[in-house]
Amino acid sequence: MPRVIFKCPHVKGGTAKAAAHLGNAVGYIATRKGVQRIDPGKIDLLATENQINMVEKLAREFPLSKGLEEYVDYQESPTRGNASEFITRAIEDNLDQIAKMENYVDYIAKRPRAQRFGSHGLFTSGSDSLTLSKIQEEVAHHPGTVWLPIISLRREDATRLGFDSAEKWKDFLSGYSIEMAQAMKIPLEQFRWYAAFHDESHHPHVHMVCYSTDGKSGYLTQHGIERIKSGLAKEIFKNDLTEIYARQTQRRDSLNQDTQKVLRQLIQQMQDGTLSNERIEQLMLELAKQLPDLTEKRIAALAVGCAPMDTPDLGESMDKLFGPLPQLRGFYCQGGLDYARMGAVDRAMMAALRAALKAKPDQAEMLAGIAKSFDGTRREYLEPVIRWAGQAQAAE
């Protein structure tokens, strides 16, 4: 299954602490200013003492971060490059909590790798330039809930699918933001979002800031989060999924063709009276073996199908099926169809049967009978069975 990591922490605005938190978060997302990238020649050196201390602190403060791939890489090879990747990822995933802690703020403010549009990396839909200080002020003093979604991909997927640039993410989110607004229960005209793309080595990702302009609308349930994540996977990996669906369709078409061929043969055999079914024959033989032990009994066999009770030659068909056994009397009762309760295989078989019947004009009545779900059962259909059983008992 395509892997999209989606998290959606949130902050409830309206307090001085929340204002400081949100202002720091927007600034960090947009800039990551003040530090150079690690020298490529030093990424394979052992992690520095500061990095080691930071890794230990992050792992202690946020135990779930030990499950990250970056942490596993660092454990296997504690280099400066792997330490930097883990620290960045752990901070990104816990930004809503980390931004509240003063001892992390200096480190957060110095992280590199935000792709910029001018002086910062913040973007939204449209072509108007964004003023970072204005947006920080707006978000920091927002009275309602502010969501801080994180969308992360594997490097190989981001590169292969073209999601490795801020421009690509801007185009994508400009369209997908409609789905996010619906999931967050925010009217589209009130939905405001900003984002920035962080081009990390292992997991390039996007940070977003989302809220309602009225400060009142919006709430996000676990179902809404799953809806957003599922939609992201479908949209981002749609080219991959298109190929998968095409292969599945080809296999399904091949199965339908084979099934239709078999069903046409069965229909023809039923019409000719030459139908031979090994399973039915086996069951009848097993029943015949038991009949000597039931010499004092009469047995009623009830067959159920879709054919109406007034179908011509129905009695003759029962005689052919059960006639060789003198102690056995065959009865037929109309049943029904419930497509909603059928499994995928049964529905495919019924679809193939309908397709086969369409090719036979003389089977129009049968085709109409199975075109949709129906319940053909009636209590009176059992009366002949009950009457026969009473007569048999009286005869004994």
Residue 313 has pLDDT above 80, yes or no: no
Q: What are the backbone angles phi and psi of residue 94, rounded to the nearest 5°?
A: -125, 30
State the helix-helix crossing angle for 222-236 and 166-183, rounded to 10 degrees: 140
Reply yes or no on whether the pLDDT at 393 is more than 60.
yes
Q: Using an 8 Å Cβ cutoff, are 202 and 89 in contact?
A: yes
Looking at residue 239, its pLDDT comes to 73
Is residue 23 in some structural domain? no
Cα gap 114→374, rounded to integer Å: 61
DSSP string for residues in 136-166: HHHHHT-SSEEE--EEE--HHHHHHHT--SH
Q: What is the pLDDT at residue 211?
A: 92
Q: Report the C-alpha dihedral over residues 363, 368, 370, 374, rounded to 10 degrees.
A: -150
Task: Residue 160: name the closest of 240, 102, 76 by CA.
Answer: 240
Asked whether residue 228 is assigned to any structural domain, the reply reads: no
Q: How confident is the model at residue 139 (pLDDT cuts 50, 70, 90)?
A: confident
- 230 domain residue, yes or no: no
In terms of pLDDT, which residue wins out, 8 or 83? 83
Q: How far apart are CA 129 and CA 131, in angstroms?
A: 7
Q: Is residue 287 part of a domain?
A: yes
Are 150 and 7 within 8 A, CB to CB? yes
**CA 172, chain centre distance (Å):** 20
Token output for 315: 């009695």
Q: Mean of the pLDDT values across residues 159-172?
A: 89
Q: Mean pLDDT for the chain?
A: 75
Structure token digits, residue 86: 């883990």
Within-domain flag for 292: yes
What pLDDT was estimated at residue 164? Answer: 87
**Distances from the Cα of 366 to the Cαs of 211, 269, 333, 340, 369, in angstroms?**
58, 16, 16, 20, 5
| 112: its two tokens | 């590199």
| Number of residues that this document lists for the chain | 396
Span 163-172, mean pLDDT?
Answer: 90
Neighbours of 155 (CB within 10 A): 14
287, two tokens:
């029943």
**Domains in the chain: how many in total?**
1
Helices 69-76 and 80-93 sit at what angle, rounded to 10 degrees? 160
Mean pLDDT of 202-217: 87
Identify the sign of the CA torsion 284, 289, 291, 294: negative
Give the pLDDT band (50/70/90) at residue 224.
very high
Residue 150 C-alpha from the chain's centroid: 19
Q: Please name which of 137, 277, 142 lies closest in space to residue 210, comparing C-alpha atoms.
A: 142
Domain range spanning residue 289? 279-335+376-396
283: in domain? yes
Paired residues of 204 in beta bridges: none
| DSSP-H helix ranges across 14-101 | 16-30, 49-61, 69-76, 80-93, 95-98
Question: Is 11 in a helix, a strand, or coil?
Answer: strand
Q: What pLDDT was estimated at residue 96?
A: 60
328 pLDDT more than 50: yes
Q: What percentage of the chain has pLDDT greater than the value 90?
A: 11
Q: Name beta bridge partners: 5.
A: 152
Which has more confidence, 58 or 298?
Answer: 58
DSSP states of 330-346: EEEEE-EE-GGG--HHH
**pLDDT tens by residue, 259-291:** 456 545 555 655 555 555 565 556 555 655 655
pLDDT on residue 108: 31
- Whole-number pLDDT of residue 191: 94
DSSP letters, 256-311, are HHHHHHHHHHHHHHHHHT----HHHHHHHHHHHHHGGGGTT--EEEEEEESS-TT-
Report pTM. Answer: 0.48
Give a yes or no: residue 286 inside a domain.
yes
Position 136 in a domain: no
- The predicted-structure confidence for 78-121, as pLDDT tens digits, reads as follows 988 888 888 877 876 776 665 544 333 333 333 455 444 555 67
pLDDT of res. 63 = 86
